[in-house]
Each structure stands twice: as C-alpha cells, then as structure tokens.
Amino acid sequence: MGALGKPIILMVTMYLFLKFVLPNIPGSAPLPSSLIFLYLLLTVSGIVIYETLSGETKDAFWGPMQGFLTGEKIGGLQALRYGVLILFPLLVGWQTYGSTATSDLPPTEGRTIHPAPPGEYTGLSNPVPKTPDNIMQGKGFYAAFCSPCHGGNFDGKGPAARGFNPPPANFADPTTIAMLQESYLFWRIKKGGVGLPIEGAPWRSAMPRWEVELPDEWIWKIIMGEYDGAHQSPRTWE
Amino acid sequence: MKPAGQMMKQVLRGGSAVIASLIIGGASLTFAQESVAVRAALVTGGLPLDDPNAAAWSSVSPASFPMSPQVHWPNRIQEVTVKDVAVRALYDGKQVVFLLEYADPTQDPDDGAALEFMVGDKKAHFAHGQPMLQVEGGPVNIWFWKNKTGKAVDMSAKGFGTLKPQAHQDVNAKGAYSNGTWKVVFSRNLSTDHPEEDVQITPGQFISIAFAVWDGRKDAAGELVEKGSQKAVSSWWYFRADAPPDYSSYMYAAVAVALAWGFQFVLIRKLKKGQ
C-alpha cells in the first residue's frame, strides 16, 4: 500500500481544505457538495495522470491494486477481495435500479431561495431615518401585517404559518435577512411571491404583494423594525 | 506496454462508471422532499362515488395536510376552525374519487370545502390563479361543495374576483357529517371534454392540488365568520393516480449486475495473463 499512501493523504487533505478552509477565506462561502465532488474528481484524475507518467511509478501505483484484484500474494486479504468482487456488481445493480425505477416521490421542484431581483430593486437604500420612533413604528406595522405568518418572535412560526409550503421565512436565521440587502427586502415585500422569477416558484409562495395595500414608506419602516426585532443587520454594499 | 495501456483504460472506464453511479445515487439522496402527495390506487370497479362512509375507504391510507387561515389578501381572516385535512383517493381508469375528511365541531348549512387544481401546462398561483408578475400563469379549476346545496360546483378562476361556475358541470360531491367530522367525496371523470378549463388527470403523472375549507358557523351577531376569501387554505401539494406497478427496472438491474460481473471477470483474467 506504500505507493497509495501519498495519494490517499492528498485526497483527504484536499477534502478537508475544500470543506473547512476554503469557506473561511474572506469573500468565500461554503461549497456545495457537488462542487467539492468535482474538485475531488479533478484531484483523482491528476493523481492518476501523474502516477502513470512513467513506467516505474505506474507499476508502483497500480501494482498493489492489480495484485489485490488477481488475488496474488495477498494472504489474509482474500476474504476482502471476494467481498469487493461480490459487492461491486451488486452496487452497480442497485444504482441501475435506482436510476431506472419510476420514482415514487413527487417531482423535486428545486426552488431558488434568493433569486436575483429586477434591476430597479438593486442598490436602493432605506430612505427612512433610523430613529427609535421609526423603528418602533416599523415594528408596529410588522406586528399588524407580518407577524401572523412570520411570528411575533420573527422566527417564521406565526399562528397562520403551519399550512404554508414553503413556510414563512425565519428572520432569526442567519441565512435569511442577515444575508440580504435592504433593497432586496424592499423588492420581496413590495412585489410579494407573485413577483418572483420562475426559478423562485412564484406559484407556491404565500407572500402577499404588499404594494397593493402598503405605501413604500411603511415597507421601509417594516424592514427597519424587522432587522431590529430579529437582532440582525442587513448585508451592506461593499 | 500496449496491453497495460488498454488495461488502464478499462480500469479508468470502470472506475468512472462506479463514480458516476455513486454521484447519481448520492445526488438523489440529497434532494430533500418539501412536498407531500395524495395518491389514488387503481381499483377495478366499485368506486365509492357517492358514499363518504363506504367500506372501500377504510383500506386507503390518508395523506394529511395542514391548513392556514387566509391571511394574505383582503378579506383576511386570522383564525379558522379547520386545522388539518385528511385526503384519500381512488380511481378506476375512468373516474377518480377523493375523500376529504376534517374535524368541524358544528354542522352548519354554510359549511363548505373545495379542491383546487392547475389547468393545462401552465403553473397557476394557489390563490385562485392570481397573476404572477414574471411568469405567465394559467387558470385554476376549483371543485366547490357546499353543505346547503348538497352538491358540487365545477368552477374556474384566473385571479381574484374572477371565480365563476363553468358552463359544463363535471363534478359530483356528497358530504356526510357525524361526531364532529365532515367527510366529503368529490368525483369526476379522469378526462373531460374541456381541457382548457378542467384539470385532466393522467395516471402516473403528479399534478398539483390544494384544499380550502369553510366552517359555516355564525358569530354572536349571527354573521358568518368564514365566507368567501375568509377560509382555511392550503398550499399546493401533489396528487397522483398511481399507475400499475412496473417491474422493468428489476430487469435492468439484473442486466447491469451481469455486465458488471462480466467486466470483473474479463478484467481479472487479463490482469492475470499480464503477470
């Protein structure tokens, strides 16, 4: 196993780097598992190419694996070898069944949680001065219009929330309003769920289109009150 | 070095096949299911079309969906009686029947319930197909039952204020109340002559379904509390008339196992020859 030692260490290091180090670089974010998989696949390809460049390294790299497969001089590993040779076709069969079987599950309509806003709703800043009075007023509007779904505790667990799918956003969660700019919230509140682009699945959204009932100034105050109440800050322009 | 080079190619191909199958398998496990579905099993004859209390229903397991008060659009209501609905369905190749069951403490003439479906290929917003700003939506087909009429109305809507009965009535419904529970059956042919306004139900295909319920109770002043848009509503969920089981994927799997075994056999034989 000597020749495989370094490649294995490299793969593990690469995985740990992608999973835990890279996301913490400023400007970065957690990587989706599909991307991590892609990078690991690239690493494996690189290792294989590198190891097979010359005759000696190739034999040292593949030798142990070949020996394992043919059963040559592997002593006590015979049982493991048989295990692998039996399980591999079964694994292939299981995967084939999984991908050809008609799914019993409803369609997975992947929904983009924060789709891009229309151009006119980017870059807007809250015109309402951030005073305790305005924050208080915003919280009052929030209690009247938003809390039935989004909850008095800003946690998405209002009394009216339980029947809705997708559920009302939890503002106390760091992946909702804390990740967004006020301009984005203004768009979402004003235009509602029906204002979402197709990737946001507007037909599913219970979010009202508040521009029909509330003036812009009230919406800006609600945004202010909401951040304050949920103990979050908006993402600001760099 | 040629045999070794060819061997390498086989190993790499086999390896990437394994990796690819692992990706597919892994990916299908990571999609979280947000939706719940009600399914209709195929029965041969004896659909309980008019009978909420038929014995046939007891062997069908219900799907349960939570309800919310309609708080998004005027006229709003902040609290409603019905919190959940249990839904069962059956079909026989020609007709489909749904059983809606929910708790309602009082039986009132104005008690009502409705099923809602999207129509055609376009998506529709669950609130009566109200227009969406960036997506062109289609109409909804609503099957509306009211206790005092004792029957269903087949309706269409495409936005608030546009709800109206259809010219062609295709839906039947019957309600039965006992012990604080309403059971309402809705039945209709799977297909109708008006696909532009009626939902068409194709076995094997998931379609969207939503529910609404009205408790026709009156307040102290004698006014109806839940009426019109003041109702219990649900989001879109899924419905499917389940096609009969298909076993071809077992056959595909068996072929794949044979191929994989054959690949192993050939590979190892070649490796042994090379040694």
In-domain check, residue B31 = no
Q: Which domain holds residue B271?
A: 248-275
Residue B11: the pLDDT is 66
Work out the mean pLDDT of chain B and round it to a whole number: 89
Contact B256 A93 (CB under 8 A): yes
Same domain, B256 and B153: no
Q: Do A102 and B232 touch (CB under 8 A)?
A: no
For residues B197 and B275, state if they share a domain: no
User: So where are chain A's domains?
Assistant: 2-98, 119-230
Smallest Cβ–Cβ distance between A196 and the set B134, B204, B264 belongs to B134
| pLDDT on residue A238 | 52
ipTM given for this complex: 0.78
Give how far A99 is from chain B: nearest CA, Å: 8
Say if the Cβ atoms of B235 and A159 lie within 8 Å. Answer: no
Which chain B positions have a beta carbon within 8 Å of A203's beta carbon? 118, 123-126, 132, 135, 137, 236
Residue B31 pLDDT grade (very low, low, confident, very high; cuts 50, 70, 90)? very low
If asked whether residues B252 and B237 sit together in one domain, one would say: no
Whether B194 has a pLDDT exceeding 80, the answer reads: yes
The 10s digit of each residue's pLDDT in B96-148 is 999 999 999 999 999 999 999 999 999 999 999 999 999 999 999 999 999 99
B8 inside domain? no
Q: What is the pTM of this model?
A: 0.73
pLDDT at residue B227 in the model? 95
Nearest to A160 among B74, B78, B253 (CB): B78
- Chain A residues with beta carbon closer than 8 angstroms to that of B267: 69
B78 touches chain A (CB under 8 A): yes
In tens digits, chain A (238 residues) has pLDDT values of 567 788 899 999 999 999 999 888 888 888 888 889 999 999 999 998 888 888 887 888 888 888 888 887 777 788 889 899 999 999 999 999 988 887 778 888 789 999 999 999 999 999 999 999 999 999 999 999 999 999 999 999 999 999 999 999 999 999 999 999 999 999 999 999 999 999 999 999 999 999 999 999 999 999 999 999 999 999 876 5
> Which residue of chain A is at minimal alpha-carbon distance from B29?
A98
Superfamily of domain A119-230: Cytochrome c-like domain (1.10.760.10)
Answer yes or no: do B123 and B254 share one domain.
no
Do residues B199 and B264 both lie within one domain? Answer: no
Confidence tier at B5 by pLDDT (50, 70, 90)? low
**For position B85, which CATH number holds?**
2.60.40.1190
**Partner A contacted by B64 (CB < 8 A):** no
Give the closest of A106, A148, A202 to B132, CB-based: A202
B247 touches chain A (CB under 8 A): no
Q: Based on the domain organization, do B215 and B263 belong to the same domain?
A: no
Contacts of A72 in chain B (CB under 8 A): 275
Are B232 and B256 within one domain? Answer: no
> Does residue B106 sit in the same domain as residue B235?
yes
Could you report the per-residue pLDDT of B53-89, keeping only the tens digit for each?
999 999 998 999 999 999 988 899 999 999 999 999 9
- Chain A residue with CA closest to B212: the answer is A163
Q: Do A203 and B132 touch (CB under 8 A)?
A: yes
Together in a domain, B125 and B217 = yes
Structural domain tally of chain B? 2
Based on the fold, state whether residues B128 and B255 are members of the same structural domain: no
| B23 touches A: beta carbon within 8 Å | yes
Answer yes or no: is B203 within a domain.
yes
Touching A: B residues 99-128, CB under 8 Å: 118, 123-126
Which two structure tokens, joined as six digits, stand for B74?
Answer: 């005027």
Residue B185 and residue B269 in one domain: no
- B224 and B263 inside one domain: no
The verdict on residue B17 lying in a domain is no
